Structure 1
Amino acid sequence: MSTVKGSKQYSLKVVPHRPGRRALQVLLALIFVGAALAAAYFGGYWQGMGRQSNALAERDRLQIELTEAREELAQHRQQVANLAVASEVDQMASEEVRGEVIDLRRQIASLEADISFYRGLMSPSEDSNGLTLGEVTITETPVAGRFAFKIVVQQVATNHQVLSGVLNADVIGRSDGGVTRVPLYQLSSDIDTQDIKLRFKYFQNVEGELTLPEGFVAERLELAARSSGRTGDSVEKSFPWPVENL
């Protein structure tokens, strides 16, 4: 064979023609790829299942903790409610007891005053014999300018006899910038005369309600009592306004 000078020569190799081998290689490659994909799929599936199982377990645990927390919160709320009720009951009981103590003190004071009053009537001292003024009270009513009054005139003696006499009561105050004296009978429909009649053996109450004139500011109550007879007694006393348990 002649050779052309200057051209590159290639060696040739003769191989046998096997079309089935090529197909086998392609099939094996497909199987490998399929197996790899299946392995990846199932691996991911089982991994996902494991994570899902863990997530479900965590969810169940959190639900249990939430339920327990809610129950504990409900218990605490109930305890707070119980404490609030107990505190309110204690406060009400304390106020009730305090009110009862105040009422008892008032009753005791009233009883002591009554005892002192009757003791003075039955066992007078040497310097408190004869006609005297006892309890005098003037208290406000719900009506503006209207007052309830009570004046006790009593006889202090070891041998009580029926005593007769009169009582004068005047309210002293200011009206239009000046001092004004107003007799009690002009202020009260329960009193009909300046000289209030007295007739008693131990004591006599003079009581009722009075209404102050508009613009009149009361400052004091002046009382003057005198008994009739040759050895008549007299007593005068002034009380600041308003008078309460004096």
Structure 2
Amino acid sequence: MSSVKGSKQYSMRVVPHRPALRLLRFVLLLLVLALLAAGAYVWGYWQASGGNVPTGQSREQLQVQLNEAQSESERLRQQVANLRMASEVDRQASEDVRGEVIELRRQIASLEADISFYRGLMAPGESGGGLALGDITLQALGAERHYRFKFVVQQIATDHQVLNGSLSVDILGTNASGEVERLPLQQISPDYSENNIKLRFKYFQNIEGELTLPPGFEPQQLELVASESGSGADSVERTYGWLTDQSQ
């Protein structure tokens, strides 16, 4: 074989072709890389856990502690719920007691008024006897301008006899135009068809019912006139301010 003068000559060697050996080397390389990756993972886990790898026994202990913590948390939540319920019960009980106290005070005041009234009936004192008008009650109801009323007519005497007579009731105020107006009770109360309400009693008589004021009317006073029928008839007149009880 001829050669070109001046060029470098390389020696040639014949190498057997073995594809299985090349594949084996590649598989071994992958295995080494996998082992290195696994070792790095174990090293990192060991460092993160403080150098201690939890055993099966320690995992069981951690699970027990977790269960105990969850039970304690549930117990505390239940205790908080019980305290809230007890607080609500106490608050409701306090409201109920306050309402009962208010109602008892109202009943006591009503009984004291009744005692005073009956004392006046049985011991007229300086009044000398005859007709008398007691206190009135005006109570605002749920509907606007709607009221419940109660008037008391009584006989003051040392020797009570059946008394016959009549009672007239007028509401004085101003209408929507600002003019003074007088409204007879029969015009604003469905409980009475005439303004002269019949009286017949020995000690006292209650006049009760409901009334509704017309729109634009502003009440100012109540005027009551009680008259006894028969010879030597007695009469009494009394004017009250328009004061209502807003408790209901």
How far apart, in 2, do the equivalents of 1:145 and 1:239 lie? 18
SS in 2 for 1:190: coil
Contact 1:136-1:244 within 8 A present in 2 as well:
no
Measured after TM superposition, the shift of residue 153 of structure 1 is 0.4
The separation in 1 between residues aligned to 2:199 and 2:89, in whole angstroms, is: 53
Pairwise CA distance, 1:227: 2.3
- 1:197 is matched with 198
1:243 and 1:146 map into 2 onto residues whose CA distance is: 11
| 1:182 maps to 2:183 | yes
Write out aligned runs for 1:80-159 (5 A): 80-127=80-127, 129-159=129-159
Amino acid at match of 1:78: Q
CA distance in 1 between counterparts of 2:92 and 2:209 reads 37
When normalised by structure 2's length, the TM-score is 0.69
Offset, 1:234: 2.8
Query: What is the deviation of 1:59?
Result: 5.0
Task: Give unmatched runs, 5+ long, in structure 2.
Answer: 1-35
Question: Offset of 1:77 from its aligned partner?
Answer: 0.9
- Residue 53 of structure 2 aligns to which amino acid in structure 1? A
Q: Report the counterpart of residue 54 of structure 1 in structure 2.
A: 52
Q: Cα deviations across residues 141-171 of structure 1 (Å, max 9, x unaligned)? A: 2332222221110112221112222222110
Tell which structure's C-alpha radius of gyration is larger: 1
Deviation at 1:60, TM superposition (A): 5.0
The change in CA–CA distance for 1:89 and 1:244 in structure 2 (over 3 A counts) is closer
Q: Is the 8 A contact 2:140 2:245 kept in 1?
A: no
Distance in 2, matches of 1:167 and 1:189, equals 16
Q: Which residue of 2 aligns with 1:233?
A: 234
1:33 paired residue number: none
Offset of residue 84 of structure 1: 0.8
Kept after mapping to 1: 8 A contact 2:171/2:185: yes
The residue type paired with residue 54 of structure 2 is: L
What's the secondary structure of 2:85's corresponding residue? helix
The residue identity in structure 1 corresponding to 2:164 is S
Which residue of structure 2 aligns with residue 206 of structure 1? 207
Does the 8 Å contact 2:127/2:156 carry over to 1?
no
Quote the Cα distance in structure 2 between the aligned partners of 1:137 and 1:203. Answer: 16
Secondary structure of 2:195's counterpart equals coil
> Could you tell me how far apart the structure 2 residues matched to 1:112 and 1:126 are?
21
CA distance in 1, matches of 2:98, 2:196: 45
RMSD: 2.9
Counterpart residue number, 1:21: none
Tell me, in whole angstroms, the C-alpha distance in 2 between the residues paired with 1:54 and 1:222. 100
